[in-house]
Amino acid sequence: MDIVDVRPRLTMFRFPIGQAYLWYDDDGLTLVDSGHAGAAAAVEEGIRAVGRDPARIRRIVLTHCHRDHVGAAQELADRYGAEIVAHRLDAPVVRGEAPTPEPKLLDWEIPYYEHGLTVPAAPPTRVDREVEDGDDLGFGDGAVVVHAPGHTDGSMGIHLPRHGVLFTGDAIAAVERRVILGVFNTDRERAKASMSRLAALAPETVCFGHGDPVTEDTAAVLRAAAEEAAAAE
């Protein structure tokens, strides 16, 4: 796992597939996504490596229900008493009560999707709090849910307006410094609309589920990428 300082109060943990983020508040830590099953020890080591105490994890916010985002959540939450948060529409999948929705893959996505399935399946994971669009998440001086369906029904962005930070989950991605519509979508047209909505927030820093964060000319980069995605077939 690689540890990347994104900006003050924000660190990225990069796994071979996917990544998670750590946000620091004075009253505790928040994980945005958790990494795959079996990644808990690496996350703990990463938190200690940046001078923080894993026992101060207060919540784990899941951007959506996929295995590379959910896998380590309950192990970490059980160990430290953290709350697990997910959107209402993805919560049944996270808990193992409903199947993971099948994406409608473009031909070029198929080999990448099959590679993604080499990540261990996530165990059924409790959800302590189900959230909706506009809900306050209790960290980051006013982090709010931005419902962003299309990748999955309950995919969500997390916007910290006072800090100009946006977490997109897999609704948007970055590949070799190019920002694109996230892949493996269940509804591509809804995903495009969600990308446009997230881009309209004009953040200063944007953090993806896959790919390097953007910290310079971010609003313009996102806007151009959303316009390109909207125009594509």
pLDDT at site 117: 83
User: Strands, E, within the chain: which ranges?
Assistant: 2-7, 10-14, 19-25, 28-32, 57-61, 83-87, 129-131, 144-147, 156-160, 165-167, 172-175, 178-181, 205-207
Number of H helices, E strands in the chain: 7, 13
CB atoms within 10 A of CB 77: 21
Query: pLDDT (tens digit, 9 = 90+) per residue, 82-94?
Result: 999 999 999 999 9
pLDDT at site 187: 97
Max Cα-Cα span within the chain: 47
pLDDT at site 176: 84
pLDDT < 50 regions, the chain: none
pLDDT at site 108: 86
User: pTM to 2 decimals?
Assistant: 0.96
Query: pLDDT (tens digit, 9 = 90+) per residue, 17-30?
Result: 999 999 999 999 99
pLDDT at site 118: 87
